[in-house]
Structures are given as C-alpha cells and as structure tokens.
Amino acid sequence: MLIGVPKEIKMGEFRVGMTPASVREALHLGHRVLIETHAGLGVGASDQNYVDAGADIAPNAATVWDKAELIVKVKEPQAVERKQLSAEQTLFTYLHLAPDIEQTNDLITSGATCIAYETVTAPSGDLPLLHPMSEVAGRMSIQVAAHALERAAGGRGVLLGGVPGVAPAKVTVIGGGTVGANAVLMAIGTGAEVVVLDKNNETLRALNARFGARIKTLYSNRETLEEHVLSADVVVGGVLIPGAAAPKLVSEAMIKAMRPGSVVVDVAIDQGGCFETSHGTTHAEPTYVLHDVVHYCVTNMPGAVPHTSTYALNNATLPFILNIADKGAEQAMRDDEHLRNGLNVMAGQVTCEAVAVAQGVDYVAADIVL
C-alpha cells in the first residue's frame, strides 16, 4: 500500500504522522511511504533521514493527497486538506469531530474512510492512541499554568510551590484519568497543594493508592466542584467522554467568582472544552483573560513538544498503520473490533454514535457500513 504523510498545516503544529523508524518498518513489510518535503523538520527529521529509511519525498502536499491510499496525519484535516480527500482513500488521524460540524460534513462529502485515533480502543477499555497525548497534555498543563500564573502573563503572581513561610498555590484537577493523573504527578513535583475531583470511586482509589497523602481526592458533585474551583489558583480540566463533546462542568458564573489572576487550563478543548468560557487558542496566542481569569485553551497542546509527542504517538499508532496497510482498511476493521471502534465516517455515513448524537445527525453502525 502507498502510505502518504503530509506536513501538518494547523497553526503551531510541528508533529508528523510517521517517524523515519516507522517508515523503515513499513518498507520492511513491502509498503511504500510518500512523505511531503520538510514534513519532519519539527521533530528534527530531515528529508534525507526519510530517504535513508526508504521513503519517497513528495515536492508538495497535493502530490501526497493525490497519490496515497492511506493518509497518516496527527491533527484533524484542515478545510483545504479535506477538499483533497477522495472516496478511495483512508484517513488515519485525530479527528475530534463532536464539536466540529463543518469537518464532519466535509468528511461525509468526501466519501473517504476516516478513522479517528481518539476512539480506537483496547481490550482493557483504554484508548491507546489517545493515551500518549493525554500523558503529554496532562504534564504540560502544569508547566503552562506555572507560566500563566506569573504576573507578566496576567496571573496572580504566585509560585506553584511557594517558598518557606509562603503557602504554595492550590491546583484543582477535574477528572482523574490519564490527563488528570499526569497533571497531578507534575503538580506534586512543584510542591503545590493538589485536589482531584472525579465521579469514579475506583479512579479516586487508584489515585489515592498512587499518591497517598500528597493529594486530596474528592467525589465530584456541584458542591465540591464549586468549592475547589473557587478556592484554586489553577484549575485543570481533563474530563473525557470518548468521541463526544466534553461536558461544560465549570459555568461562567463560577469563573466570575474565582480570584482575579487565577488560571484555567482546558485540556478538553479539542472536544469543545469543559469550561463554559473556553474557546480554542493557538500556541502563538495561547491565553486570553476573561472575567480576570487567565484561560489557556490551546487545541493542540502536545504540538509544542513535537519530538516527545511524535515519537510517543507513533509508538502507539504504528501497529494499526501496518495492519491497515497489510490488509486494507475494511478487512483490518472487520478483523479488529478495536480498530473498528475508531471508524467515525465512511462512505458518507457517520459511524461513531457519540459524534452523531452530539451533532444531531443520522448514525449507522460501523458493522453495517462495512
């Protein structure tokens, strides 16, 4: 199969769909890989590195989109890219369709087979292709919050860990999954006071067993959420409903009641965000201040650390890429229910129920379309 890897064009995105090492694996199995020139520069991979691995270099994106049977990307295709998709192609990337009706409509029109990293599952119930980027984003959330708390960035002028004689900052983490656990890990490392809220008691028990008395774990309800959002210096939103729009857990009224200069980091912004006042931002302009609260809502957080992110992501995606290339997308999905769960759009039909519900469109099960 001819696998195509275009250069990412979303603002501030420096990751790439396949590393040279992954290309070499695909070539070893008899496939061809076409890489757009300079696609890997953001992760330190030159065209020559890809040529040495066996790839062909395309002079532009149009060549990749025109020739490839399987398109491997990182971020959702932008409008200009979606126009180049055809019904004969398979797109394998993050899609985050639930809050993005325009993208969904374009993918339906294309007729292409569109498989989303974020809804591929594992036997454990985990989301293996979302997991590595959730780890990166969770850890980054504390890093960016520490900067946003600085007075020059609009924050309260508070050091996360404090100093002897001065109390540390309070960090409230909403959601104790992969994002939340990694945010907790980093926040503890700074010396901050950390509170985690979740509705799953098993998740809270696991966090308590892992971190012990260094954190406070609380069942999330209206009372605990309001109390620990309003008293926090930093609130990290890391909630996830696979494939669906994120629930708006923190209202605008709560944001207004927070202390001036507090910081919210909405890691769920790719799925619409869990703060009512959130809207997507870019790495070029990552924050805005609303109701005296600094909002960090970058829609591709891991793109800021592309080397780490690309290699972590490709470690997870490569087995699926090779499976699709070996068998073809349809047969690969028939044989693997977990890859099949990643199918969001195919032959002009929405095949992810959560997306269909979020957008009020018709849903056809993947099994039927296949």
Q: Which residues are catalytic?
A: 96, 270
| Largest separation between any pair of C-alpha atoms in the chain | 65
Q: What is the DSSP string of 138-204?
A: HHHHHHHHHHHTSGGGTS----TT-BTTBPPPEEEEE--SHHHHHHHHHHHHHT-EEEEEES-HHHH
What's phi and psi for 174, nearest 5 deg?
-100, 110
- CA dist 348 and 113 (Å) reads 9
The sign one gets for the Cα dihedral 178, 183, 188, 192 is: negative
Helix and strand numbers, DSSP H then E, in the chain: 15, 15
Separation between Cα atoms, residue 126 and residue 341, nearest integer Å = 12
CA atoms within 13 A on the CB side of 228: 26
Alpha-carbon gap, residue 243 to 98, rounded angstroms: 6
Cα 256 to Cα 360: distance, rounded to the nearest angstrom: 31
Q: Do 218 and 192 contact (CB within 8 A), yes or no?
A: no
How far is residue 45 CA from its own chain's centroid?
22
106-139: string of b/e by CB count within 10 Å (b at 16+)? Answer: bbbebbbbbbbbbbbbeeeeebbbbbbbbbbbbb
Identify whether the C-beta of residue 37 lies closer than 8 Å to the C-beta of residue 4.
no
Distance CA 161, CA 169 (A): 6
* Sequence-separated (6 or more) residues with CB below 8 Å from residue 218: 195, 196, 197, 204, 224, 228
